[in-house]
């Protein structure tokens, strides 16, 4: 029998051990490390560093088996990884973080089932939370890991099934890839990172981007029981397990390698995930387009989109949550930098030599109902919106990306939309399309993996030749809805959302359609590329926006629809601006009479002034006469 004092000692020991462990973890999470502080020297610290793998073991080029280095283990030697992981690029799973204004979503696209669903873990209106519609985190990382910077969902894959758990044991976490942003080496290859995520080589992905390492093989190819630490050779000789090779010449005598880590991140690194290209101009005639004026003048993205150790990147728009009252943050918005508030004791505006615009002849109401970007950003509006591809939505920059301009989703810009702050700003926009089960006003999207097998049987067999929507008639749409109704949970009706409409099968068997809030397009404000001042809207006068056919108000926004009979429709830009349809038209017509108004008011001013002066002089003449009179 165990004596009580032994049990007490054991329990006490466990408590002490737990307390010590917890304290150690807390210390790891909160400690300011060597590289977290700034000693005042502006020179870039040279990163000649040792590499560590997932287990925290030193990586040398002669290890057997060779393991990829872990950014978490390697970088947290000198930097607080936990603090960094709460930054803007990684904190989207945290419901306590304010979502801010809607941004670019991830789009779950499946051409065969005519599906394009805007996704975001942030609660942006119009997007769907992947967790809530059945997109597992494993699937999310599979689909979008290519341009995720790691961390966030990549480190919270939360394997739901044994199958995925087994795969995750091999693939590992998609840790924050510090190199994505900070590695300024010319041989840093972010496309390689994307390729590794597609192969499920998550733990190898960051390593593969470095110039001194290369990765071959695919975790997705090896069997579930593959032991990566033993490097077991698969039975199938065609299967190459994920393997890393290091250039041993780049390791010094102390097993250190130089990584060109820069605090001042080059724009090129941001571009891999934050590029966009105009389908009518820069995509095919790149020499005809220009970069953002700020970059052309020698600035980089992080000159304005700054962050501290917390990596809480400034998004840079007025009213950004958590930034009010911080002059440094507020002065890094368009308005804060270029206009600012001169009444401050210490001026904060004009940073980096930002010129102050004069805006001659532009009534100040413009600055209250529109953002700076409305006139200065994106391409000048045309009668019909232009197509645009973005890096994250269209997987630009990857090896083998489909370069066709027709690739879904069809994103358009510039669309001038009244934002949540009540101001009109240029937006990118696309029309969501998905199958769903409707109950009341609520629609739960059905994922492509459910619809595609049905759609494949009903739509044209081989849709590979199409990059855009496959041909779908209303009859075919009705057939798919009818097939889905067999899988519909009780009380739920299958519907299709697309082209701004909601389609469903009526009791008569006929396909009915109506406008519905769920079918509204998803749009998000953009700020770049900023055009030169001489190409801003309004620089050529009021007619730039206030003429009867000005694209700003009366441009046509294409309604992108999968259903063939609904294709080609457009809606007026004014319908997105909260001004109704009559007012913009009447207001534009009033500008036809603006020259007359100028003449009339000028004439009236001259006449009234003349009469006032005349009688003032007559009064003066009387005073002079009285004052000079001899007769008292």
Q: Are 74 and 176 in contact (CB under 8 A)?
A: no
Structure tokens at 274: 């934050």
183: CB partners within 8 A, 6+ apart? 209, 210, 259, 260, 261, 262, 269
Shortest distance, CB of residue 548 to other proteins, whole angstroms?
Answer: 15
CB of 604 to other proteins, least distance (A): 4
Q: Is residue 615 near other proteins by the rule CB under 8 A?
A: yes
Q: Give Rg (Cα) of the chain.
A: 31
Q: Which secondary-structure segment (H or E) carries 273? A: helix 267-274
Give the shortest CB-621-to-other proteins separation in angstroms.
12
Distance CA 119, CA 74 (A): 32
In eight-state DSSP terms, residue 92 is: T
CA dist 327 and 626 (Å) reads: 63
What six digits make up the tokens of 5? 């004092």
Binds other proteins by CB under 8 A, chosen from 19, 297, 609, 617: 609
| Nearer Cβ to other proteins (58/613) | 613
* CB 373 to other proteins: min, Å: 17
DSSP 8-state class, residue 507 = T
Angstrom distance (rounded) from CA 223 to CA 110: 27
Q: Least distance from C-beta 353 to other proteins, angstroms?
A: 19
> 253 or 596: whose CB is closer to other proteins?
596
> Within positions 330 to 369, which residues make up the interface with other proteins, using CB under 8 A?
339, 357-365, 367-369
Q: Which of residues 303-322 bind other proteins (CB under 8 A)?
A: none
Secondary element (H or E) of residue 198: helix 190-198
Of residues 343 and 508, the one with the C-beta less far from other proteins: 343
Tokens of 171: 């693939």
Which residue number, 166 or 369, has a Cβ lying nearer to other proteins? Answer: 369
Q: How many CB atoms lie within 10 A of CB 286?
A: 10
Note whether 623 binds other proteins by CB under 8 A.
Answer: no
- Label each residue of 317-362 as H, E or C: CCCCCCCCCCHHHHCCCHHHHHCCCCCCCCCCCCHHHCCCCCCCCC
Contact string 152-191 vs other proteins (x = CB under 8 A): ----------------------------------------
Residue of 611, 620, 623, 624 interacting with other proteins (CB under 8 A): 611
Is the CB of residue 535 less than 8 Å from the CB of residue 542? no
Minimal distance in Å, beta carbon 600 to other proteins? 5
Separation of alpha carbons 256 and 128, rounded Å:
45
Q: Residues 146-180, buried b or exposed e (16+ Cβ, 10 A)?
A: bbbbbbbbbbebebeeeebeebbebbbbbbbbbbb
Q: Which is nearer to other proteins, 18 or 586 (CB)?
A: 586
To other proteins, the closest distance from the beta carbon of 461 in angstroms equals 54
Of 462, 468, 458, which is closest to residue 114 (Cα–Cα)? 468
Site for other proteins in 528-557 (CB under 8 A): 541
| Six token digits for residue 277 | 């290209």
Q: Is 612 in the site for other proteins (CB under 8 A)?
A: yes
Stretch of residues binding other proteins (CB under 8 A), selected from 279-287, 289-297, 383-391, 610-618:
610-618
Least distance in Å: CB of 565 to other proteins?
36
Query: Which H or E element spans position 5?
Result: helix 4-30
C-alpha to C-alpha distance for 135 and 482, rounded to whole angstroms:
24
Name the residue nearer to other proteins (CB basis): 426 or 584: 584
Cβ at position 416, least distance to other proteins in Å = 16
From the CB of 545, what's the least distance to other proteins, in Å? 14
Binding mask 564-603 for other proteins (x = CB under 8 A): ---------------xx--x--xx--x---x-xxx-xxxx
Binding piece for other proteins, criterion CB under 8 A, among 172-180, 192-200, 444-452, 614-622: 614-622
How far apart CA 258 and CA 214 sit, in angstroms, is: 16
624 binds other proteins (CB under 8 A): no
Quote the crossing angle between the two packed helices 190-198 and 267-274, to the nearest 10°.
30
Nearer to other proteins, 403 or 540 (CB): 540
For the bound state, the minimum distance from the C-beta of residue 577 to other proteins, rounded and expressed in Å, comes to 12
SS3 content of the chain, % helix, strand, coil (to 5): 35, 15, 50
Residue count, binding to other proteins (CB under 8 A): 39
Nearest to other proteins of 2, 626 (CB atom) = 626
Residues 433, 437: Cα–Cα separation, whole Å: 13
Q: How far is the CB of 278 from other proteins (least distance, A)?
A: 30
- Judged by beta carbon, residue 490 or residue 582, the one nearer other proteins is 582
By the rule CB under 8 A, 608 interacts with other proteins: yes
Comparing CB distances to other proteins, the nearer of 233 and 602 is 602
Interacting residues toward other proteins by CB under 8 A: 339, 357-365, 367-369, 541, 579-580, 583, 586-587, 590, 594, 596-598, 600-605, 607-609, 611-612, 614-615, 618-619
């Amino acid at each position: 029998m165990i004596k009580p004092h032994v049990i007490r000692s054991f329990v006490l020991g466990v408590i002490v051990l737990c307390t010590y462990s917890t304290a150690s973890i807390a210390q790891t999470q909160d400690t300011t490390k060597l590289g977290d502080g700034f000693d005042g020297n502006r020179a870039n610290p040279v990163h000649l560093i040792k590499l560590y793998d997932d287990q925290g073991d030193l990586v040398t080029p002669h290890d057997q088996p060779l393991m990829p280095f872990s950014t978490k283990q390697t970088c947290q030697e000198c930097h607080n990884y936990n603090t960094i992981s709460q930054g803007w690029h990684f904190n989207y799973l945290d419901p306590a973080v304010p979502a801010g204004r809607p941004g670019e979503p991830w789009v779950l696209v499946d051409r065969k089932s005519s599906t394009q669903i805007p996704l975001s873990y942030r609660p942006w209106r119009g997007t769907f939370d992947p967790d809530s519609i059945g997109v597992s985190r494993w699937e999310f990382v599979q689909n979008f890991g290519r341009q995720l910077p790691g961390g966030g969902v990549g480190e919270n894959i939360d394997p739901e099934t044994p199958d995925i758990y087994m795969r995750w044991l091999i693939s590992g976490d998609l840790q924050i890839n510090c190199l994505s942003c900070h590695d300024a080496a010319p041989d840093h290859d972010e496309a390689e990172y994307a390729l590794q995520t597609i192969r499920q080589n998550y733990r190898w992905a960051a390593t593969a981007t470095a110039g001194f390492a290369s990765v071959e093989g695919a975790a997705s190819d090896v069997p579930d029981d593959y032991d990566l630490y033993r490097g077991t050779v698969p039975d199938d000789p065609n299967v190459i397990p994920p393997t890393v090779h290091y250039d041993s010449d780049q390791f010094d005598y102390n097993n250190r390698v130089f990584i060109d880590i820069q605090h001042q991140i080059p724009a090129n690194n941001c571009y891999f995930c934050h590029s966009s290209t105009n389908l009518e101009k820069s995509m095919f005639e790149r020499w005809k387009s220009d970069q953002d004026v700020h970059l052309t003048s020698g600035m980089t993205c992080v000159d304005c989109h700054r962050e501290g150790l917390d990596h809480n990147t400034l998004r840079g728009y007025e009213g950004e949550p958590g930034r009010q009252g911080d002059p440094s943050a507020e002065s890094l918005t368009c308005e804060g930098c270029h206009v600012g508030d001169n009444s401050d004791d210490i001026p904060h505006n004009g940073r980096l030599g930002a010129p102050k615009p004069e805006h001659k002849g532009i009534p100040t109401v413009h600055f209250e109902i529109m953002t700076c970007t409305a006139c200065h950003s994106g391409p000048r509006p045309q009668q019909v919106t232009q197509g645009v591809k973005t890096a994250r939505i269209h997987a630009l920059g990857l090896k083998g990306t489909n370069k066709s301009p027709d690739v879904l989703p069809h994103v358009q810009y510039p669309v001038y939309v009244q934002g949540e702050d009540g101001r009109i700003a240029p937006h990118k926009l696309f029309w969501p399309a998905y199958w769903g089960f409707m109950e009341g006003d609520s629609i739960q999207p059905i994922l492509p993996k459910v619809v595609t097998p049905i759609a494949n049987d009903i739509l044209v067999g081989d849709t590979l030749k199409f990059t855009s929507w496959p041909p779908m008639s209303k009859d075919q749409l009705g057939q798919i809805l009818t097939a889905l109704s067999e899988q519909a949970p009780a009380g739920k009706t299958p519907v299709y959302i697309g082209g701004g409409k909601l389609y469903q099968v009526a009791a008569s068997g006929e396909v009915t359609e109506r406008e519905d809030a769920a079918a509204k397009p998803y749009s998000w404000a953009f700020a770049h590329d900023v055009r030169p001042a001489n190409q801003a809207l309004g620089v050529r006068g009021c007619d730039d926006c206030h003429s009867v056919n000005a694209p700003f108000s009366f441009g046509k926004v294409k309604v992108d629809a999968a259903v063939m009979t609904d294709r080609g429709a457009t809606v007026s830009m004014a319908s997105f601006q909260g001004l109704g349809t009559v007012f913009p038209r009447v207001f534009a017509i009033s500008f036809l009479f603006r020259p007359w108004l100028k003449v009339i008011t000028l004439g009236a001013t001259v006449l009234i002034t003349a009469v006032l002066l005349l009688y003032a002089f007559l009064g003066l003449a009387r005073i002079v006469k009285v004052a000079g009179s001899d007769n008292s």
